[in-house]
Amino acid sequence: SGRSLRPHSAEQATLERYRMVIQPRLGTWITIISVVIGFFAGLSAQSRWKDWMLFRNSQPFGVQDPEHHVDVGFYIFEYPLWRYVLGVGFTTIVLSVIGALAVHYIFGGVRLQGVGDRMTAAARAHLTTLVAFFVLLKAVAYILDQRALLLEQHVSPGLYGAGYTDVNALLPAKEILAYISIVVAIAIVVFSNAVMRNLVWPGVSLALLAISAVAIGGIYPLAVQNFTVQPSLADKEAPYIKRSIEATRAAFGLSATEVRPYTAAVTVPPATLASDTSAQNVRLIDPQLVSEAYTQQQQVRGFYDFGPKLDVDRYTLTNDKPQDYVVGVREINDNALTTQQQNWLNRHTVFT
């Protein structure tokens, strides 16, 4: 099974001559390539000394995260190094696949022309095993990605840590993809070497993994964010904002703060409230939340919109008393213009 394919073409005959030149110095070439790769790997690793020192001297914080129930010290001391080691593993596998392909091609284990088998059993077993290890590393990456969700920073609604979409869509998606990766890795080795002894089913398995990654890890979370979270952002993200606030308090040593509710015992008559000028200025509309309502009711054209946060101003109208009003300016959204509308004339004379 370890023999080379016999030369059946001019390509193989040419490679045979190259083998006669390379084989006597094969050990020297392997040593040179290994030294070069090791040199660049060392240059990359020397800047990660801090990650290693943190990992080596890691200590528990005594506080567990609310989602995975892992000590918070893991994210500070251990996670950065594990992420780096995973990246090194991916790089090693990719370089190994490239090197194995080159060696098998030169020594006849893989050929592009001629009749019969294009790959020996030894070359197929070697290459598919490397690919299977790559897919297994991908499963480990999905597990680490689950931990990384707690380190996310969301611009809207100003949330640090996992949000609604992360917990209810991305977290289970990453877990499912990790299991799929393990199954695909096993299928690659079994189908290519023990059952069918070809690369058809391993290729199908990799394609299914890629499709699953796009559908489960990309499209599904995007749909949850757009159709479930965005319409009621404050309501959906409220529990996770509370988590973020509690974690911030714990980090600054404020978790033991005692909150005492104050219940007013005075009942104000409605007539008093009606005559109180300050009560009339109580805001009923939040300028940070009303922008979408303005867009729906006052957009007029599809290329108009309002800013994400509107302004508050005071005007004196019919009652001769100043009153707060939420003010929004209808602006042109250039990205909403069609291709036909985006010309010089429209930009400078119409949509301006």
Query: Does the structure show a pLDDT above 70 at 10?
Result: no
Percent pLDDT > 70 in the chain is 87
CA distance 307 to 295: 9
* Residues 318, 175 within the same domain: no
* 106 located within any domain: yes
Residue 312 lies in a domain: yes
Domain end point (choices 215, 241, 267)? 241
Instruction: Looking at the structure, tell me whether residues 128 and 203 fall in a common domain.
Output: yes
Q: Are residues 97 and 205 in the same domain?
A: yes
Structural domain that includes position 291: 285-350
Residue 301 lies in a domain: yes
Give the C-alpha separation, 236 to 265, whole Å: 33
Helix H or strand E segment including 48:
none
Judgement on whether residues 91 and 232 belong to the same structural domain of the protein: yes
Residues 94 and 220 in one domain: yes
Judgement on whether residues 181 and 295 belong to the same structural domain of the protein: no
Question: What is the pLDDT, as a whole number, of residue 2?
Answer: 47
> What letter would DSSP give residue 64?
B
- pLDDT for the residue numbered 350: 75
Q: Quick one: 168 and 68 in the same domain?
A: yes
Q: Among the ranges 112-121, 123-132, 308-317, 339-348, which has the highest mean pLDDT value?
A: 123-132
Angle of helix 171-190 versus helix 200-214 axis, rounded to 10: 180
Report yes or no on 118 lying in a domain: yes
The more confidently predicted of residues 169 and 286 is 169
- pLDDT tens digits along 128-181: 899 999 999 999 999 999 999 998 887 666 678 888 999 999 999 999 999 999
- Structural domain ending residue among the three candidates 241, 267, 301: 241
Answer whether residue 52 is part of any domain: yes
Answer yes or no: is 91 within a domain: yes
Nearest to 133 by CA among 100, 90, 175: 90
Q: Of 68, 48, 71, which Cα lies nearest the Cα of 58?
A: 71
Which of the two residues, 6 and 305, has the higher pLDDT score?
Answer: 305
